Amino acid sequence: MIYVIADPCHGVCDTACVDVCPVDCIHGPAPLPEIRETREQGGESALKAKYGDKIQLYIDPEECISCGACEPECPVDAIFEDEELPEKWAGSAQLNADFFKKK
């Protein structure tokens, strides 16, 4: 069992989950300070303009210790245990894992 970030994070990326993760296993397609700065300066529209509509953060399944700290912090309920993922976002577990394979 690991935790996974699904579609509701798209274009939101407020990084609240990052702040509570004890093992720093949540990452995005750009350095987190850069994502935060873009969001602070231009909001979600600026994030989407710079990184695409589907920008989201991802949880590294090799590093996540399944502590659950991130789940209640997410303002848009984007974080799930892999076994609890809604059917429509079932592919998110693989997407999160694939993100770290590309690195």
Would you count residue 73 as binding ligand SF4 (CB under 6 A)? yes
Instruction: Say whether residue 26 binds ligand SF4 (CB under 6 A).
Output: yes
Write the CA distances from 27 to 39, 47, 52, 64, 75, integer angstroms: 15, 15, 16, 12, 17
Of 21 and 49, which has the nearer Cβ to ligand SF4? 21
Sole window of 18-26, 43-51, 83-91, 94-102 interacting with ligand SF4 (rule: CB under 6 A) = 18-26
CB-based burial label for 41 (10 Å; 0-12, 13-18, 19+) = exposed
Q: In angstroms, what is the minimal distance from the CB of 19 to ligand SF4? A: 9
Residues that bind ligand SF4 (CB under 6 A): 3, 5, 9, 12-17, 20-21, 23, 25-26, 57, 59, 64-70, 73-74, 76, 78-79
